[in-house]
Copies of this chain bind each other. A is one copy, B any other.
Amino acid sequence: MTERIRISLDAMGGDHGPSVVVPAALRALQAHEDIELILVGREEALKQELARTGVEAGERLHIRNATEIVAMDEPPALALKKKKDSSMRVAINLVREGEAGACVSAGNTGALMATARFVLKMLPGIDRPAITTTLPSLKGHVHMLDLGANIDSSFEQLYQFAVMGSVLATTVDGNPAPKVGLLNVGQEAIKGNDQVKAAGRLLEDSNLNYIGFVEGDDIYTGDVDVVVCDGFVGNVALKTSEGLAHMISEYLREEFMRNPVTKLLGLLALPVLRSLRRRLDTRQYNGASLLGLQGIVIKSHGGADEVAFANAIRIARLEILKNLPAQIDRQIESMLSTRQAS
C-alpha cells in the first residue's frame, strides 16, 4: 500500500472553528482518496462535532488534542510566546515533525505567519514568508503575491516573491516559463516607487520570464501568470476586487428584481446567472500559500465555509504532491549562485 498524504488541520481556527473544519475535512476525504487528515484542537469539541455528523475518527481521520486557541485578534507575538499548546501551533509542529506534509489553518494570519516562521524556519535566501493566492483571469488564472504578509517590501523581497511565484506556476500549473509582471502605476520605467524600480532592474537580469511592469487592470487579462507586489498593495487589490465583485452581483440582482417582467427574465436566465456566479465564486480560490517556508502552510479565509475550506485542503495536497518547498529551494539556490557569479 502506498503511503497516504497527511495534512494537519487547525480545527479551532477561523470564525467558525470545528463546525466548518470538520465537515470540510469529511468533504476533502471523499474528494481525495489518497489523503489522511489530522484534526488538531480540543478533543472533546472535535469528538462532539464528529458525533453530530455521525462520523468517527478512523484510519484516514485522526484527532490530536491541543488545549489552547489563538484568538482572531490576538497579537502574533503573544500567541507565539504564550500559546504553545494552541491548535495552530500543534498543527504546524506536526509538519516540522514529519507527521504531516502540510498544515491548513483559517486562524489569525499574523499569528500563523509568525508561528510558521518560528517553527518551520525560512528557506535559505528568503527573508519572510509571502502570501499568494490564485485569481481568475480572462484566460484562466493568475498567481498574485504578496497579499499582506510583508508591508513596505524591499526590492530584494519583491525579487524573492517573483522567483517563488514563478516556481509555483511552473510546479503547480506545469507552465514551463510563467510570465512574471511587477505591479506598478505605469508601464513606463520612469514611474513607480524606488523599490519597484530597483526590483525591475534585478528581474531584467534574472532568468525568469519577466515581462516588465504591469498595472492593476492587467491582473485579470490573462496576459500575465504571476503578479508581484508589496503586501500592502496586494492586499488592497485583492480586497478591492472582492468588494467590487460583490457590488456588481448586487447591481445585477437589483436590475433583475426591478419589475415583474425583469423578474421573470431573471428566473429564465437563472442557469446562466448561476454559471456566472460559479465562475466568480471566491470559494474555489480559497487557500493562500505561505511561500518561502521549509514546509507547506495554507491559510484559509477566516470566514470560509466548508466548500472553501475543503478547497484549501485540495491546495495543500497538491503542493505536497509537487513538493513545492523543495522546488523553490532549488530555484532560489541556483538564482543566488547565478547572481553571485555574475
0 or 1 for each of A270-287: is its CB under 8 Å from B? (1 = yes): 011101100110000000
A256 to B276, CA, bound (A): 9
Among B75, B232, B238, B244, point to the contact of A233 (Cβ < 8 A): B232
Minimum CB–CB distance for A150 against chain B, Å: 10
Which chain B residue has the least Cβ–Cβ distance from A271?
B262
In the complex, are the beta carbons of B247 and A276 less than 8 A apart? Answer: no
Q: How many copies does the complex hold?
A: 2
0 or 1 for each of A228-242: is its CB under 8 Å from B? (1 = yes): 010111011111111
* Stretch from A30-38, A155-163, A183-191 contacting the other chain: A183-191
A72 to B275, CA, bound (A): 41
* Stretch from A41-49, A113-121, A217-225, A318-326 contacting the other chain: A217-225
Given A217-B239, A240-B241, A269-B269, CB of A138 within 8 Å of CB of B250: yes
In the complex, are the beta carbons of A276 and B255 less than 8 A apart? Answer: yes
In the complex, are the beta carbons of B151 and A193 less than 8 A apart? Answer: yes
A137 at the interface (CB under 8 A from B): yes
In the complex, are the beta carbons of A236 and B233 less than 8 A apart? Answer: yes
Q: Which residues of B contact A243 (CB under 8 A)?
A: 216-221
Given A151-B192, A237-B240, A272-B265, CB of A247 within 8 Å of CB of B138: yes
Minimum CB–CB distance for A281 against chain B, Å: 12
Which chain B residue has the least Cβ–Cβ distance from A135?
B244
In the complex, are the beta carbons of B188 and A73 less than 8 A apart? Answer: yes
Q: Which residues of B contact A201 (CB under 8 A)?
A: none
A1 at the interface (CB under 8 A from B): no
Q: Which residues of B contact A137 (CB under 8 A)?
A: 247
A212 at the interface (CB under 8 A from B): no
In the complex, are the beta carbons of A241 and B239 less than 8 A apart? Answer: no
A230 to B220, CA, bound (A): 23
A202 at the interface (CB under 8 A from B): no
Among B215, B220, B266, B275, point to the contact of A244 (Cβ < 8 A): B220
In the complex, are the beta carbons of A236 and B229 less than 8 A apart? Answer: yes
Given A251-B279, A265-B269, CB of A152 within 8 Å of CB of B193: yes
Minimum CB–CB distance for A139 against chain B, Å: 10
A252 at the interface (CB under 8 A from B): yes
A148 at the interface (CB under 8 A from B): yes
In the complex, are the beta carbons of B247 and A220 less than 8 A apart? Answer: yes
- Residue from A191, A241, A244 having most chain B Cβ neighbours under 10 A: A244
0 or 1 for each of A122-144: is its CB under 8 Å from B? (1 = yes): 00000000000000111000000
- A-B contacts, 29 of them at CB < 8 A, read A137-B247, A138-B247, A148-B185, A185-B236, A215-B235, A215-B239, A216-B235, A216-B239, A216-B240, A216-B241, A217-B240, A217-B243, A218-B243, A219-B244, A220-B243, A220-B244, A232-B233, A233-B233, A236-B236, A237-B237, A240-B240, A241-B241, A244-B245, A251-B276, A255-B276, A256-B269, A256-B272, A258-B272, A262-B271
